[in-house]
Amino acid sequence: MTLETEFERVSMPLENPFTISRGTQTDAENVIVRVTDEGGMTGVGGAAPSPHYGETAETVEAVLPDLLTAVEEIGDPHALHAIEAELSTVVTDNPAARCAVSIAVHDLAAKRLGVPLHRLWGLDPSAAPATSFTVGLDETERVREKAADAVEAGYSILKLKLGTDRDRELVEAVREAAPDARLRVDANEAWTAREAVRKSEWLAELDVEFVEQPVPAEDPEGLRFAYERSALPIAADESCVTLSDIPAIADRCDIANLKLMKTGGLLEARRMIAAARAHGLEVMCGCMIESNASIAAAAQLAPLLDYADLDGSLLLADDPYDGIPMLDGEIQLGAQAQAGTGARPKSVE
């Protein structure tokens, strides 16, 4: 079959500048991929490249022609395993670029079969956990306001970025503004192992649910130290990039946080979930700041997760794509009327 492919870079301003321990982001550069079959049916995917993992919109655009040529040569949008394997042969790195193509082909395959992707996988849409909403670093009063706004908007699970010299003040402010919210914190590698253990004590007192990536990924023994002594469960994000990381983190954390843009594809993400389960880990799926072109695909995995952190599109001022509604943080997969991932351009509505 003849498949046509194209890609397009989109620059999307954020609703608010987004700050974590490593820096501030004011807009998100994504690259949208489309794969169209002979009947004119189009699958869409998105790449949200992260400089932390060595990717930019430029590197995505540089490798997409080779990746899309591989898809055209295979020519069968239902050959998902063959396509994803070939993509990782053609380009060994660049997981966000590969992921955009994997998503677009999955979207097209499910559309051709007329079913939402989670139905193709046999998943129960009602099993999807609610997503958290992330509050980035800011002045303490601004963080307090943002937490109050998030609660007002209906979100019941907040994720607070930490990694400052006023971490306790920030958590206390959020707890005051959101006394009933489930609260998670993410240090993005900013702490030492001993600091993580110390902070876990008062974080537990403030009824925080778990701590994400307390120590640098380059310090696996520090992660183990924190995991063994922390008063709270530990989630690994920067320490959990690809499938082969799962055995290494199995005795160093409680929760594996995967992201599509780290895994390089939807099949690989499902393998990571299975591997994490086999190692007794709980599973979370996070995201970059992403358009619904890719977030809608991550939402399809939600029934397989214990924790969802899929607010990437919610942080954008304007997303060119609609996806799976997340009213009050509930990932409404059961209401998905569209076949595929559910991502669709807003202008066509």
Query: Which stretches of the chain bind Mg ion, using CB under 5 A?
Result: 186, 212, 237
Q: Which is nearer to Mg ion, 238 or 330 (CB)?
A: 238
Q: What is the number of other CB atoms lying within 10 angstroms of the CB of residue 131?
A: 30
Q: What is the number of other CB atoms lying within 10 angstroms of the CB of residue 2?
A: 8
Q: Phi and psi of 70, rounded to 5°?
A: -60, -40
One-letter amino acid at 31 equals V
Minimum CB–partner distance for residue 35 and Mg ion (Å): 30
Q: What is the number of other CB atoms lying within 10 angstroms of the CB of residue 218?
A: 10
Q: What is the number of other CB atoms lying within 10 angstroms of the CB of residue 347?
A: 7
Among 139, 138, 174, CA closest to 157? 174
84 CB-side CA count, 13 A: 21
Q: Phi and psi of 212, rounded to 5°?
A: -100, 135
For residues 73 and 75, what is the distance between their CA atoms, to the nearest angstrom? 5
Minimum CB–partner distance for residue 339 and Mg ion (Å): 32
Q: Which is nearer to Mg ion, 71 or 314 (CB)?
A: 314
Minimum CB–partner distance for residue 187 and Mg ion (Å): 9
Minimum CB–partner distance for residue 294 and Mg ion (Å): 17
Q: Which is nearer to Mg ion, 42 or 134 (CB)?
A: 134
Cβ atoms of 276 and 227 within 8 Å: the answer is no
For residues 291 and 296, what is the distance between their CA atoms, to the nearest angstrom? 8
Q: Which is nearer to Mg ion, 37 or 237 (CB)?
A: 237
Minimum CB–partner distance for residue 213 and Mg ion (Å): 5
Q: Which is nearer to Mg ion, 134 or 292 (CB)?
A: 134
**Crossing angle between the packed helical segments 57-74 and 95-113, to the nearest 10 degrees:** 40
Residue whose CB is nearest to Mg ion in the complex, by number: 237
Tokens of 255: 């929760």
Q: Which is nearer to Mg ion, 84 or 209 (CB)?
A: 209
Cβ atoms of 312 and 261 within 8 Å: the answer is no
For residues 291 and 29, what is the distance between their CA atoms, to the nearest angstrom? 9
Minimum CB–partner distance for residue 259 and Mg ion (Å): 8
Q: Which is nearer to Mg ion, 37 or 212 (CB)?
A: 212
Among 228, 231, 194, 196, CA closest to 213? 196
Tokens of 13: 């301003």
Q: Which is nearer to Mg ion, 123 or 187 (CB)?
A: 187
